[in-house]
């Protein structure tokens, strides 16, 4: 068994968000990033931005080349704007005790409150 699996981490082959990157219902996409609606929304609008690059969590943000990290953040802002959000919350849960349940980096965009 590969070391990453022994440590209990997702591998890209069996990672839910790697799968949704490839074949999910994308509301927006650009090179290397997609946005989907959260299946269990915690706000009137609740979107997720997923990078194609699999890293387990935000802790590994340093694995993104600087230009790619910048484009990811710009895509988060673009997706929010395209959904008509001016005020919104961007969040990343890092680790299980902070609420992370899917171990592929993703950005929550929540908004749409009256
Ligand atoms: P986390 O808890 O890791 O920060 O966020 C994972 C998010 O993914 C949760 O808000 C959860 O509702 C969402 N989610 C889990 N499974 C699916 C799925 O199959 N499709 C979509 N669209 N969202 C999912
Ligand atoms: Zn993944």
**Which residue lies with its CA nearest to atom 12 of ligand 1?**
40
Give the pLDDT of residue 4.
44
Give the pLDDT of residue 12.
75
Beta carbons of 36 and 20 less than 8 angstroms apart: yes
Beta carbons of 109 and 44 less than 8 angstroms apart: no
From residue 46, give the alpha-carbon distance in Å to each of 28, 29, 65.
Answer: 14, 16, 27
Q: Is 99 a pocket residue for ligand 1 (Cβ < 6 Å)?
A: yes
Give the pLDDT of residue 3.
41
User: In tens digits, what is the pLDDT along the chain, a chain of 114 residues?
Assistant: 444 444 445 567 799 999 999 999 999 999 999 999 999 999 999 999 999 999 999 999 999 999 999 999 999 999 999 999 999 999 999 999 999 999 999 999 999 998
Distance 64 CA to ligand 2 centre (A): 14
Q: Is 36 a pocket residue for ligand 1 (Cβ < 6 Å)?
A: yes
């Amino acid at each position: 068994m590969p070391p990453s699996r022994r440590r209990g981490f997702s591998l890209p082959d069996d990672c839910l968000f790697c799968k949704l990157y490839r074949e999910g219902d994308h509301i927006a996409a650009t090179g290397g990033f997609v946005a989907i609606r959260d299946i269990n929304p915690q706000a009137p609008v609740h979107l997720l931005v997923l990078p194609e690059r699999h890293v387990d969590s935000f802790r590994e943000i340093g694995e993104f080349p600087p230009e790619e990290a910048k484009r990811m953040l710009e895509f988060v802002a673009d997706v929010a704007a395209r959904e008509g959000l001016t005020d919104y919350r961007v969040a990343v849960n890092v680790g299980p005790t902070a609420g992370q349940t899917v171990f592929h980096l993703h950005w929550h965009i929540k908004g749409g409150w009256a």
